[in-house]
Amino acid sequence: MAEVLVLVDHLEGAVRKPTLELLTLARRLGDPVAVHLGPGAESAAATLGEHGATRVLAADAPEFADYLVAPKVDALQAAVEAVSPAVVLVSSSPEGKEIAARLALRTESGLLTDAVDIAAGDEGPVVSQSVFAAAYTTTSRVTQGTPVITVKPNAVTPEPAQAAGTVEELSVSFGPLATGTQVVSRTPRESTGRPELTEAAIVVSGGRGVNGAENFALIEALADSLGGAVGASRAAVDAGWYPHSHQVGQTGKTVSPQLYVAAGISGAIQHRAGMQTSKTIVAINKDSDAPIFELVDYGIVGDLFDVVPALTEQVNTRKG
Ligand code: FAD
C-alpha cells in the first residue's frame, strides 16, 4: 500500500490534535508515516501509533528550535526522498502552510491548502475546500508531483487505529537557506486552561454587542461550560475588550470548529472569512435582520445578556 507522510505538530513530543486528524485522513489514502522533527519522538510515538502511524521518521537538531521553518522543510524534503510517498499532509497552521508551500516548490509538486476534507480518487486524492464565505465547496486534485495538502483543524474527528509507530531515524542535512531566519525569543502565551483558538472544537465569540470588557465574562462562562475557546470580533478587539490574539476574521485567526457560537456579532464579510467553515454555526443577535443569520444553522433572536447566561446554565445543568 502507498505511504502517506504526515508532518507532526507537537510541543516537545506532546502531539497536537490536528496531527491526529491528519493521521485519520491519511488512513483513507494509504499507510500513514509520521515525520517528527525536534525533541520527544519516543514519547510521541505511542500516540502516533495509536492513531495509525506505521512508522515515525524522527530527526532532532538544534536548527529546528533556533531557526524558523526552513530546517523543517529540509527535513520533510529528506523524508519525501526517503519514502516516495503518495501524498504529504500538513496542518493548515501559518507555519504548516509555509512549510507545505516551500516543499511543493522544491519537489515541483502541486499544493492544495486549507482542505476541509480529502477522499481517495483514482487519479490521486480529491481535496474539498470551502470558498466564498462557504457559499461553494470546490473539489480539486493535484496533477503534478507528490500532492502536498494542508488540512484545516477540525476537518475530521480523530479516530484511533492501532499501528506499530516504530521510530526510525531520519537523516537530514541542512542547506544554506536553513539558517536564514533565526528565532530571537519565544514567549509562551498565558495559560487560560482553554483550548487553543484555532484548534478548539468549540468556539464562543463575542462582538460589539457584548458592550464592554467586563461582559466578556459571560462569553467565557459559556465557552467554559462547553469546554471551548473564546473568540472576538474586530469591533470588540478594537474597543480593547478582548486581546487581539483572540480576533476571528480576515485580519485575525481562522477557525473551523465543530461548533461556532457568535454572540452580538453582525456577520461582516471580514468576520465570516475567519469562521465560515465551522461545521455548525449558532448566532445570538437581537436584530433579526443581522447578516450573520444568513449563514447560521441555528439563529437565536434575542438579547445576549439574557440568552448567553441561560445557555450556560442549561449546559452546566445537563452536564450534571
Ligand atoms: P457590529 O457590526 O457593530 O455588530 C454588532 C452586533 O451586535 C449587531 O448585529 C447588533 O444587532 C448586535 N447586538 C448589539 N447588542 C446586542 C445584544 N445585547 N444582544 C444581542 N445582539 C446584540 N472584523 C472581524 O470581526 N474580524 C476581522 O478580522 C476583521 N478584519 C477586517 C479587515 C478589514 C480590512 C476591514 C475593513 C474590516 C475588518 N473587520 C474585521 C471589521 C468588520 O468589517 C466589522 O466592522 C466587524 O466585524 C464588526 O464587528 P461586530 O459584528 O462585533 O460589530
As a whole number of Å, the CA-based R_g of the chain is: 21
Region 80-103 average pLDDT: 97
CA separation for the pair 295, 274 (Å, rounded) = 13
User: Residue 130 has what pLDDT?
Assistant: 86
- Topology agreement, domain 3-169 and domain 202-319: yes
Query: Which residues are annotated as part of the binding site?
Result: 208, 233-234, 247-251, 264-271, 285
Please give the order of strands across the beta sheet that includes 117-119. Answer: 117-119, 126-131, 136-140
Please name the residue that has the C-alpha cell 473568540: 231
Q: Residue 280: pLDDT above 70?
A: yes
Q: What is the pLDDT of residues 111-170, one digit of tens each?
A: 999 999 999 999 999 999 988 766 789 999 999 999 999 999 988 999 999 999 999 999
**Count, residues in the chain:** 320
Q: In angstroms, what is the span from residue 199 Cα to ligand 1's centroid?
A: 23
Region 36-41 average pLDDT: 97
Q: In angstroms, what is the span from residue 279 Cα to ligand 1's centroid?
A: 21
Ligand 1 atom, smallest distance to 304 CA:
19
CATH class belonging to 202-319: alpha beta
**Rounded (10°) CA dihedral 11, 15, 21, 23:** 120
Does ligand 1 have an atom closer than 6 angstroms to the CB of 251?
Answer: yes
Helix (H) or strand (E) holding 59: strand 55-59
Does ligand 1 have an atom closer than 6 angstroms to the CB of 148?
Answer: no
Whose alpha carbon is nearest atom 8 of ligand 1?
Answer: 266
Q: Kindly give the interhelix angle for 17-26 and 41-50, rounded to the nearest 10 degrees.
A: 50
Region 38-50 average pLDDT: 97
Whose alpha carbon is nearest atom 1 of ligand 1?
Answer: 266
User: Residue 154 has what pLDDT?
Assistant: 87
% of the chain residues with pLDDT over 70: 99
CATH architecture entry for 3-169: 3-Layer(aba) Sandwich (3.40)
φ, ψ (nearest 5 deg) of residue 55: -135, 155
Q: In angstroms, what is the span from residue 267 Cα to ligand 1's centroid?
A: 6
Residue burial 217-232, b: 16+ Cβ < 10 Å; e: rest: ebbbbbbbbbebbbbb
Does ligand 1 have an atom closer than 6 angstroms to the CB of 208?
Answer: yes
User: Residue 133 has what pLDDT?
Assistant: 64
Region 80-102 average pLDDT: 97
Q: Where are the domains of the chain?
A: 3-169, 202-319
Q: What is the pLDDT of residues 251-267, one digit of tens each?
A: 999 899 999 999 999 99
Model pTM score: 0.84
Q: What integer best gives the mean pLDDT of the chain?
A: 95
CA separation for the pair 30, 150 (Å, rounded) = 17
Q: Residue 277: pLDDT above 70?
A: yes
DSSP readout, 21-35? HHHHHHTTTSEEEEE
Complex ipTM more than 0.85, yes or no: yes
Q: Residue 66: pLDDT above 70?
A: yes
CA separation for the pair 16, 23 (Å, rounded) = 12
Whose alpha carbon is nearest atom 48 of ligand 1?
Answer: 235
Helices (H) and strands (E) in the chain, counts: 9, 17
Ligand 1 atom, smallest distance to 305 CA:
18
